[in-house]
Structure 1
Amino acid sequence: MSAKLDKLDIFNIKSLLSEEELMVQESIGRWVDDRILPIIGLAFDNHEFPMDLIPEMADLGLFGSTIDGYGCAGLNYTSYGLICQELERGDSGLRSFASVQSSLCMFPIFAFGSDEQKERWLPQMAKGEVIGCFGLTEAHAGSDPASMKTHAKKDGDDWIINGSKMWITNGSIANIAIVWAQTEEGIQGFIIEQDMPGFDTELIHRKMSLRASITSALFFDDVRVPDANRLPKVKGLKGPLSCLSNARYGISWGPIGAAQACLQEVLDYTEERVLFDRSLNCNQIIQQKLADMSRRITTAQLLALRLGQLKDADQLQPTQISMAKWNNVRMAIDIARECRDMLGGAGITTEHVAIRHMLNLESVITYEGTETIHQLVVGRELTGKNAF
């Protein structure tokens, strides 16, 4: 008799993980079960990010986890992907927080910053004592970041920055903002500190997605920034786009966790729900839907694992990230919607996870490259023609 398969891991992906990778997944998974799942529904309802969990996330080594030194964990990228998967099994807002801190703020300082910038900021960020945000998107420059209006002009040894950024995760609680601005020498990155005169933030309210996450607008009115706060090792779009590639890599893993959470919930529900004198999961249509969800999750798991292998081998291409982000987020949002429907009337309340994940994934499928953008990236690779 063959051994029973794991309902959330039909192809036994765990058996392909190293001992360290498995340990990372299990430890973060336990923390999500113990600390996130009991409180995240209420946090979503109340439009609150659970700030008290930041020190615990830091103690677990979740910030800058792939960076060597500076108090960071120095894990491989497959481990980072598994971290994103387990965090998003809790909530997309939680994964977004860790993703912004790690991939969009600590990574550019590590990759493009001076030695002084690395020593000053990275150890504090690894401890969660300094929170970062990433300022690229503008109200009229989302999918086309090259058209940004925010600009920086040299003034002696300083830069004067004017403009604004929109849809910024962590913006109103961040101690520093990694802000990308037009200069006479192309787009450059600056570390803008919370208390610099002329720098202001504003919370974005009335969100129906990522409610357990802080989203803000950033405003720069003649903000004077010393040249020591400019990221010296990159110019042009290569800087912000490389940050986005790192973040999109994590996003390719994260929604697998959201889909697993939805599937587990509906597996339990259809076993317990009795309709016409038998459990709901006795129906063919229910089993077909469950089987299709499992197939799509398994496909996404294998895609993410291969993505991690390529990333760890330093062979990953942006087109591969685009395909994985497109496939895996689409997979998760479709499963969340299907699970919400299968829960019946109960599915519209946040006592169940499906509608929360469904709403969150509406943001995930939009940010860091919309689904259409990633489709066009793959299309350009296949045809050699730019359709943007």
Structure 2
Amino acid sequence: MPQRELQRLQEIHRFLNLNIDKDHELQEIAELASELLDCPIALITLMDGETQYFLYKVGTDLKQNAIKDSFCKHLTQENLLIIPDTTKDLKFRNTSCVTASPFIRFYAGAALLTHDQHQLGSICVMGTEPKTLSKGQQHLLKVLAKRVIQITEFEFSINLLKEQFIKSRESEIKLRSFFETSSALHLLVDKNLQVFDFNKNFADFLRQMYDVELMQGLPVGKVLHGEALKSFIGDFEKALNGEMVSFERKVGYRNDQEIWWYVTFEPGLNPEGEIIGISYNALDITERKLNEAQIIAQNKSLREVALWQSHELRRPVATILGLMDIYKARKKSLDKELLMLEKVTKELDERVKEIVGNIDIAHF
């Protein structure tokens, strides 16, 4: 087996065996993909040599699938894979999920790539009707793929960060080798609110944004001030009491653009299980927040246009039905041709009502 593939499989099994505290967040990403991309099925998967594992999912109860029947095995690192109509694609039209239940007609997927470019699996959406994705939706799918990897690598790095409290040489080596390539920001604070350790990304951020030089032993009060310090201490104390704190927060601006972080405060334990400090961890989610807002705004505009068109269409229909009622009140009955017109107009009216009703309950 090639060395690169062996390393990829090792990465997959590392994540399969990882005890992730943020399962609900990964499930929310699958739900978000289904909702914003308007597809009934969404999956976050990992793939080894023979099996595709459905770790987080919407619209199916399946837990895994054979690689030979997987759309995702055809994903490349560089591009999305989009199949507008599976029945018209020679490569996929005879796949079991196309010819039998759930009769997949549409597929779109993005590869899950680690920081060292190992392809672990995919995030994908599927539907039972042919369709396509806008450029904005395609970009959002790529952003969600990055977010999945960020969360899983974030969890792995936090576990290593907690090990650093133990101060074994082995854990220190693993910590440094991973953290200097991690996109997250990590900080260890002891029980006295002094900096115990940090990674390069965190030091670079404080230097660029606040002109603060981070060093071991530095009191947190020398870095944060006012409400920011008060908020930090509040979350710090919750973590010292054994509670994990997590939230999304706007932390400032860069080139007139909002910066959003996903932040956690987690208890740090010694070998005896005693809490001796906290780990503060931050992940930049700005791109995800901006893309979500853009898709939601686009869908809101489409909904408003569709509602306007539907109501405008119903207006002349309602007028014709009103004239029919006046005519019947005067004539007591209608000619055959007018009866036919009334029937067709009522059918059209029901269809318009149905369209408006569907728009009102749709998830945009």
Q: TM-score, normalization: structure 2? A: 0.25
User: Which structure's CA Rg is the greater one?
Assistant: 2
Structure showing the higher helix proportion among its residues = 1
Select the structure with the greater relative contact order (CA < 8 A; seq sep ≥ 6): 1
